[in-house]
Structure 1
């Protein structure tokens, strides 16, 4: 009998990739969860229990975040991360799926839709990043300095986990010790800062409008009304540039929609997937 839940790591595209797989016994629909910057699959912990009642789920820690690895040889471009996710799914024998991406994870979803247009059936973008440019050349050159990764560590330490959480959550009462610990734990190892250096150096910038116009995959955009990280205006612009998309706005909600409104996000995802599935 096949296991219903598996957690582990695979070496994919030269990097150790941690993932969790929930295999639904009867559902034909699989949802792939991709988290955002400075986060991990921990950010979906309230959404997974809801989704797994109706779908099979694959949730991934993007390198170098969470429990995934760091390698100096790995190219931390969005295109390569998209390739890594696609290769993981192929390795797992999963060829028919829907993508869900939060923040930076949404941009990686868009890269999958662009570079591998036949892979995913539908996509859900949760406060997806968009229209960001590549880092300035001076900063990229500085990233080659010895111990630059420690400079990133100091910078993030100064901003502090509490300040960062307050910036991404609209209802401050939701911030508790579990949330603080969950988002802080991955940053206790220096390897993640070396990976962040690679991400800063390699990140090629978000997909431009002329590329977004070519993406035909049905997309549902879910946005927090008071998102301070990726403002609602970005969601409205993405909805205009993606030809087959719909924008849904959650009132009194910030950037971290899977934390703040998991029940609402689940309902929107479920309705979106099954509505299209029924049409087929």
Structure 2
């Protein structure tokens, strides 16, 4: 799997890998990249199905993390810090579990390690399958429905320019790739990493929005299982904290990455 990437070499001895969320690409993490580039090299990627990385062939979440490991090796980066948001956070968890020797630390924003209950995971796959069909049949209508999900209701308070920019980024994605990604490494198909969390020894910063009740609860449980983690709840924020509370997010992650 060839991952499209951009490597900003700032002549630092340490690198941060940025992993974006669903229906976006590496450009959605630009604000975060700008916040950390004074202190770190930045490796931005398009995850499979988004941006310029196609979703082709048969692969799993573990294959995605394997491809990222190969990319890091090819760039001779050694250990990296990781910042993963939502879908990108799930990829980050997979990477930490499968390639601990390549991880210096991780920031997981609004992240889940998957669904442990098999029946619940099967139900989620049916939801993801239906979403994939809707994406392919009427992408614009799907985006409209996606933006109305309670998960993103707090984003209505953002300025119109930011909201329009995010919508344009979503609509710019390839519908076939986005749909295929759900069926290859969506929450309903990926394996659960809950039981693997206790073996992750790298420092981990968990961040969730106070208004995002579901992921706040998930992150509290993750914090109980991870051996070396801390959990920060951002007041007033929802799911996409790095966009809704950008300045606060930047301060928190820099304190962790530099100090941790």
Give the shorter-chain TM-score range. Answer: 0.7 to 0.9
TM-score, normalised relative to structure 1: 0.79
Corresponding residue of 1:180: 167
1:127, CA displacement in angstroms?
0.8
Asked if residue 219 in structure 1 is aligned to residue 204 in structure 2, the reply is: yes
Shift of 1:158: 3.7
Q: Give the total of aligned pairs.
A: 251
Say which of 55, 59, 83 aligns to 2:40.
55
The aligned residue for residue 104 of structure 1 is 87
Preserved contact between residue 224 and residue 257 of structure 1 (Cα < 8 Å):
yes
Please, which of 85, 96, 117 is the counterpart of residue 113 of structure 1?
96
Equivalent runs, 1:234-245 vs 2, <5 Å: 234-245=218-229
Between stretches 127-136 and 240-249, larger displacement belongs to: 127-136
Distance 2:103 2:147 in 1: 32
Match of 1:193 in 2: 179
- d(CA) in 1 for partners of 2:153, 2:34: 21
Deviation, 1:152, is 4.3
Native 8 Å contact 1:107 1:206 kept in 2: no
Kindly state the Cα deviation for residue 149 of structure 1 after the two structures are TM-superposed: 5.6
Larger radius of gyration between Structure 1 and Structure 2? 1
Distance change (3 Å), C-alpha of 1:138 and 1:56: closer
> Is the CA contact 1:169–1:256 (under 8 Å) kept in the aligned structure 2?
no
CA distance in 1, matches of 2:247, 2:236: 15
- Contact 2:6 / 2:45 at 8 angstroms: preserved in 1? yes
Q: Displacement, 1:168?
A: 2.1
Shift of the alpha carbon at 1:45?
Answer: 2.1
Structure 2: runs of 5+ lacking an equivalent: none
Matches within 5 A, 1:122-137: 122-133=105-116, 135-136=121-122
Residue 89 of structure 1: how far off its partner (Å): 0.9
Rounded Cα–Cα distance in structure 2 between residues aligned with 1:65 and 1:83: 18
Does residue 70 of structure 2 align to residue 87 of structure 1? Answer: yes
CA, structure 1 residues 263+211, in 2 after alignment: closer, same or farther (shift >3 Å)?
A: same
Distance 1:243 1:217 in 2: 8
After superposition, the Cα gap between the structure-2 partners of 1:139 and 1:265, relative to the gap in structure 1 and judged at 3 Å, is closer
For 2:100, what is the secondary structure of its paired residue? coil
Gaps of 5+ in 1: 1-14
Query: Counting helix residues as a fraction of each chain, which structure ranks higher?
Result: 2
SS at match of 1:213: helix
- CA-to-partner distance for each residue in 1:101-150, whole Å, 9 max, x for gaps? 1112112211221111111111111111234256428967x97xxxx964
Q: Tell me if structure 1 keeps the 8 A contact 2:143–2:170.
A: no
Residues 257 and 165 of structure 1: CA distance in aligned 2, closer, same or farther (over 3 Å) = farther
Q: Distance in 2 between matches of 1:194 and 1:149?
A: 7
Say which of 233, 238, 246 aligns to 2:230.
Answer: 246
Q: CA deviation at 1:98?
A: 0.5
The answer for the alignment partner of 2:192 in structure 1 is 206
Please state whether the residue corresponding to 2:157 is helix, strand or coil.
helix
Over aligned residues, Cα RMSD in angstroms? 2.8
Structure 1 residues 241 and 30: CA distance shift in structure 2, 3 A: same
